[in-house]
Amino acid sequence: EAVGKWEKVMAELSHVSVELDEEREARVRCEKELLQKTEKEKELQNKIMILAKQHDDDGGQPVEPLTQVLTSSTWQEMVKDLQEEREMLMVRLRTQEQLVKDVQEQKTASDSVTSEVKSLFGRQLAALQSQRDQMQSQLDAQKAKNQTIAELLGQKIVSEETLLKEQELLKAEIDNKEQNLALLLKEKKALAERLSDVEKDLAKAKKALAENAGIIEDLEENIHELNAEVKNLQEMHECERLGYEDRLNFSSLEIDKLNAELKAKTIEYSEEKSQLTEEIAHLKKVCLELETRLQESFQSVQAAQEAQSQVAKRYQEEIDQLETQRLAQLTEIEELNAEIKDQVENQQKVEEERKEQIALIKKVHEREHDREISELMAKHRGEMETLRAELNKEQQRLLDELQQHMAATHKAELEQAQLQSQTLHVLELEALRLSLNNMHTSQLELTQSNLRKEKETALVELREMLNDKRAQEVAILQSRHQLEWEKSKEQSLKEKQDLQSKYQQELVDQRKKIELEMEETHIQALETLRRDWELESETRLRSTCEELSEKHQTEMVELQKTLEMELEKVKAELGLLSLENERSKLKCVELEKQHQVAITKLQEQMQTEHNQLLEDMKMKSQEKEQNLQKELEKLEVMHEELKARSQEEIRQLWSQLDSSRANRQELSELKEQLLARASRVEEIERLKQDFDQQRQQRKCEHETELEQLRLYFEKKLRVAEENYREELTLLHQRLQELKEESLSESEISQDQAGDISSSIPAFEETAEKERKDALGQLNQQLEQHQEELACLQVQLKEQHRHELDSLQFSLALQYKEDLMKMKMDLSDKYISEIEEMKKKHCLELEQLRAQLSEEHIKEITKLRLQSAQDAAHQVEMEVAERVSVLEEEHKAKLLLLHSEEQRIAELLEEINLLKEEITKEKDLSVQNEKHLKEEMEKVKCKIAEDHRNKLREAREEVQKIETMYKERELKWQCESEDQRIQAEEKVSLLRVELQRRMEQEKQDLQREFELHEAEMKQFQDQQADRKSV
């Protein structure tokens, strides 16, 4: 028993060492994963820097808070986690082809809507261009009219001979002015109608955008439906997991039943063996008298050992054949895996090349777009400057000409007035002149008042528009600021969570280290205790052996006297026993043959079942591979179609770019289209990656299933081989005993009473040795069974624990994936909204610039008309008033700019406050680290105390073992005395017991044979049930 306990302790220590090795391997894996994560972080940092540069090149003026958020390490971690979770979710979502097709149809519908919006914008642009051409034609007409007015003035200076001609000319001029006024009113009405048309077009565009928003909402609803389906799939997986757990519980119950049956069989076997050993001991007292017969028995034992070695060789050859078959199958599977990997690598290379080509096209397109925009801006500025310079020159030239003409006319009129002062028509001329002047001044005042009113209304409308736009921009800035503030808060919370997780991991690592140290100390203490216990056990065994030998000698002296009296009676009955022994030998031979036949049948059945299972697994793997190949072909066809469509769309877009590079809005729309197409291509590539990952996962699962089946069948074969070997050893032992009994009977008949006195002490010694050997063998077998049961329990516990860990890990991954998907969706929405707001802002700015330029041109034309009609002094007054108005507007704009700068400063102050809050939170995290370190120290102290308590408990257990050992020694003494008394009683009852035992042996053999057949039938039924399952 002490040896058995020592072996259990050694088995536990070996198990602990295996667990330590597994933990070390897990640590190495974790370190590798950390290195991979660091590499991924570096790659993402490089990508973010590239994207930031592209954003600077595209946008011109990047937003400061966004760049700060992007450059921070927390944002990078957020982006990594979001990307990983998005990829994991997309792997599951994109396995359903029908849903993907629905989404693609909706995308095509959205593309059609965007094309309609483009056509509307194109029409609006054409209308605006036509308006611009009309305005230019009007300007040319006004220039021509100015020239005609100048010619008319020259004609007035030349042709002032008669007053009648002057009156007609003045009437003609008045008519022309009235016509001009009517034309101006008509133009005003036309402009109002155009403005209303533009507003209608804008309303239509807003409606189209609203429809797009509805489509986007439909897409979001589809995404929600996909999420619901994913949840349903998760529930299905949980149901399957529960089914597998029920199966595991059922298998554990079956294993418990088998263990109980094994224990019952071992108990029965031990009882039968004890009975047989007692009978053999009593028979060997009579049989083993001569040394010559012992040598013959040794020769028979050697022959039996040779037969056993031959049987073992056969089994080893069969096992080698099975292993070769298994290795061949594994090589085939490895070759298939290698081919599949090569195909996957080739596909990945092709996809990478396509990605590189698309990236190059994007870069080229962006560079050309930026270059064209810069060229258009430079051209626009140059044209505006040239127009301003020309208009200023023309205005100065016209003013100079008017002043010269007016001075010349004034002089001529004075001279004529002086010459014709004597005439009678002076009064009439003066009256006419006064009336004309009054008419002219009244008309000019009316036109000036109308023009001023129009200017005031236009300025009021412009101010309202600008105020509204500035209010919108302020609201947008405030919303952005709030979003950034919320993002900073979320980042700080995530940093806290990351720090907590890191500290928890550190705590776990330190706990593991402390546990390892405590285990080492515990092992050392156990070794010292084991040495002490071995020394004590050796001393006590020696003392007990000496005492038992003395007692045994006294008992043997007493037994010799009784045996001499009863040997004569036993000789007569040994003849009958010899006949019965021969019969039992024949029966044993028959049983051995039947047993071998059953063994061969079982081996054939096991091989057939193994081959069938392997074939089934191969068929399943082939079917899975065929399905995967079909899916790959479908995806390749889809990819080729999408590639062809994308190429056609890219060609169309390039043609549109070549035809409409002058229009800014069309360029922006084309850029958006290209980005959408690139996003589609990226989605296709992601689908391919997801499909590859699924295929690899299925391969891994298939390999694990094959390995599990292999291990299961190997275990079954080992158990069956051990059982057959044990049964063969038992049969050989029985045959040897029967042979020895027959030999001993023949020797007894030859040498009867003369040699009894000399053979009794040798017989007793051999009997004692055989008893000890039998007891040791039984103890070893029991210990082996116990060890096997313990190993099975440990393996089942480990499997259950691994399955629970895997389930927990899968659930945690699913939870993280859902969270990261929500985060990615929100971030994508916010980014898309921000980009739309930027685009709207740019479009509004361009429209304002166009309106301002048109209004400026209109005002210049009006000033030219006024300068042509009014005198030089009035022109100067109006210019001064205009300058004052412009200065006031400029001052108002400067005030607004100062207010906006103040708001920006306030926003920067708030950002600084947020930074201070982040620093405070970092300080709090440092304090938390200190608290965690203190808690770690406390945990270390607790672990040390627990270790001390465990050592105390181990010492107490050692003391208990010592007390148990002492009690067993006392029991052994008592049992030895009882055995002495029983031996005296058994000698008198040998005759009856021998007959009964022979009958019992016959019955036991029949029962064993029946039990063996029942076990074989149960084993076959179990295999049939497993096949059906």
> What local confidence, expressed as pLDDT, does residue 60 receive?
43
Most confidently predicted of 217-231, 585-599, 648-662: 217-231
> What local confidence, expressed as pLDDT, does residue 991 receive?
64
Using DSSP's 3-state secondary structure scheme, residue 658 falls into helix
> What local confidence, expressed as pLDDT, does residue 65 receive?
41
Helix axes 426-659, 990-1028, angle to 10 degrees: 140
Tell me the domain boundaries of the chain: 1-48, 682-731
| Dihedral of alpha carbons 548, 551, 554, 555, sign | negative
> What local confidence, expressed as pLDDT, does residue 387 receive?
67
Rounded to whole angstroms, what are the CA distances from 338 to 267, 341, 630, 667? 53, 5, 19, 49
Q: What angle do CA 907, 911, 917 make, to 5 degrees?
A: 145
Question: Is the predicted pLDDT of residue 61 greater than 50, yes or no?
Answer: no
- State both tokens at 363: 């870069």
Question: Is the predicted pLDDT of residue 323 greater than 50, yes or no?
Answer: yes
Number of alpha carbons in the 13 Å side-chain half-sphere of residue 666? 19
Question: Is the predicted pLDDT of residue 1011 greater than 70, yes or no?
Answer: yes
> What local confidence, expressed as pLDDT, does residue 965 receive?
64
Residue 160 vs residue 328, higher pLDDT: 328
Question: Is the predicted pLDDT of residue 992 greater than 60, yes or no?
Answer: yes
Rounded to whole angstroms, what are the CA distances from 71 to 47, 539, 908? 12, 77, 17
> What local confidence, expressed as pLDDT, does residue 934 receive?
77
Cα–Cα distance, 161 to 151 (Å, whole number): 17
> What local confidence, expressed as pLDDT, does residue 696 receive?
74
> Is-contact 580 745, C-beta < 8 A?
no
Cα–Cα distance, 209 to 289 (Å, whole number): 115
Instruction: Look at residues 231, 69, 990 and name the one whose alpha carbon lies nearest to residue 574.
Output: 990
Rounded to whole angstroms, what are the CA distances from 458 to 838, 845, 954? 27, 18, 99
Cα–Cα distance, 904 to 584 (Å, whole number): 110
Summarize the confidence of residues 166-195 as an average pLDDT. 74
Question: Is the predicted pLDDT of residue 276 greater than 70, yes or no?
Answer: no
Question: Is the predicted pLDDT of residue 219 greater than 70, yes or no?
Answer: no
> What local confidence, expressed as pLDDT, does residue 63 receive?
39
Cα–Cα distance, 17 to 23 (Å, whole number): 10
Tell me, rounded to whole angstroms, the distance of Cα 420 from its chain centroid: 107
Question: Is the predicted pLDDT of residue 1029 greater than 60, yes or no?
Answer: no
Cα–Cα distance, 482 to 490 (Å, whole number): 12
* pLDDT bracket for residue 958 (50, 70, 90): low
The string of pLDDT tens digits covering residues 607-659 is: 677 677 767 766 776 776 677 667 767 766 776 776 677 667 666 666 665 66
Torsion of CA 192, 198, 201, 202, to 10 degrees: -120
> What local confidence, expressed as pLDDT, does residue 216 receive?
65
* pLDDT bracket for residue 103 (50, 70, 90): very low
> What local confidence, expressed as pLDDT, does residue 592 receive?
65
- Greatest Cα-to-Cα distance within the chain, rounded to the nearest angstrom: 203
> What local confidence, expressed as pLDDT, does residue 402 receive?
63
Residue 898 vs residue 80, higher pLDDT: 898
Summarize the confidence of residues 181-186 as an average pLDDT. 76
* pLDDT bracket for residue 760 (50, 70, 90): very low
Cα–Cα distance, 463 to 893 (Å, whole number): 10
Instruction: Look at residues 559, 544, 557, 558 and name the one whose alpha carbon lies nearest to residue 975.
Output: 544
> What local confidence, expressed as pLDDT, does residue 830 receive?
58
Cα–Cα distance, 697 to 368 (Å, whole number): 44
Cα–Cα distance, 269 to 696 (Å, whole number): 51
User: Residue 421 has what DSSP assignment?
Assistant: G
- State both tokens at 649: 């769309």
Instruction: Look at residues 140, 299, 277, 69 and name the one whose alpha carbon lies nearest to residue 827.
Output: 69
Cα–Cα distance, 820 to 85 (Å, whole number): 5
Cα–Cα distance, 361 to 368 (Å, whole number): 11
> What local confidence, expressed as pLDDT, does residue 872 receive?
56
Cα–Cα distance, 399 to 389 (Å, whole number): 15
Summarize the confidence of residues 409-426 as an average pLDDT. 65
* pLDDT bracket for residue 68 (50, 70, 90): very low
> What local confidence, expressed as pLDDT, does residue 100 receive?
47
Question: Is the predicted pLDDT of residue 822 greater than 70, yes or no?
Answer: no
Instruction: Look at residues 905, 804, 725 and name the one whose alpha carbon lies nearest to residue 314.
Output: 725
Residue 218 vs residue 283, higher pLDDT: 218
Q: How many CB atoms lie within 10 A of CB 447?
A: 19
Q: Is 60 left (phi over 0), alpha (psi -120 to 50) or beta?
A: left
- State both tokens at 500: 């907590």
Element (H, E) at 741: helix 664-750
Candidate from 128-132, 166-170, 369-373, 675-679 with smallest mean pLDDT:
675-679
Summarize the confidence of residues 307-326 as an average pLDDT. 66
> What local confidence, expressed as pLDDT, does residue 804 receive?
60
> Is-contact 17 519, C-beta < 8 A?
no
Torsion of CA 676, 679, 683, 685, to 10 degrees: 130
Summarize the confidence of residues 825-841 as an average pLDDT. 65
Number of alpha carbons in the 13 Å side-chain half-sphere of residue 144? 7
Q: How many CB atoms lie within 10 A of CB 354?
A: 15
> What local confidence, expressed as pLDDT, does residue 753 receive?
43
Instruction: Look at residues 325, 322, 316 and name the one whose alpha carbon lies nearest to residue 606.
Output: 322
- State both tokens at 55: 């954003």
Average predicted confidence (pLDDT) for the chain: 67
Cα–Cα distance, 369 to 719 (Å, whole number): 77
Cα–Cα distance, 702 to 333 (Å, whole number): 10
Instruction: Look at residues 110, 371, 308 and name the one whose alpha carbon lies nearest to residue 215.
Output: 110
> Is-contact 765 294, C-beta < 8 A?
no
Cα–Cα distance, 212 to 111 (Å, whole number): 10
Residue % of the chain over a pLDDT of 70? 34
Instruction: Look at residues 249, 261, 251 and name the one whose alpha carbon lies nearest to residue 1018.
Output: 261
> What local confidence, expressed as pLDDT, does residue 758 receive?
46
> Is-contact 485 65, C-beta < 8 A?
no
Summarize the confidence of residues 779-787 as an average pLDDT. 63
| Radius of gyration in angstroms for the set of CA atoms belonging to the chain, rounded to a whole number | 54
> What local confidence, expressed as pLDDT, does residue 64 receive?
40
Torsion of CA 954, 960, 966, 970, to 10 degrees: -150
Q: Which distant-in-sequence residues (6+ apart) come within 8 Å of 680 by Cβ?
A: 107, 642, 646
Most confidently predicted of 170-179, 352-361, 814-823: 170-179
Candidate from 270-284, 349-363, 752-766, 847-861 with smallest mean pLDDT:
752-766
User: Residue 420 has what DSSP assignment?
Assistant: G
Number of alpha carbons in the 13 Å side-chain half-sphere of residue 897? 6
Tell me, rounded to whole angstroms, the distance of Cα 566 from its chain centroid: 86
The string of pLDDT tens digits covering residues 70-87 is: 444 555 565 566 567 666
Cα–Cα distance, 534 to 6 (Å, whole number): 10
User: Residue 159 has what DSSP assignment?
Assistant: -
Candidate from 335-344, 637-646, 760-769 with smallest mean pLDDT:
760-769
Instruction: Look at residues 910, 920, 827 and name the one whose alpha carbon lies nearest to residue 70.
Output: 827
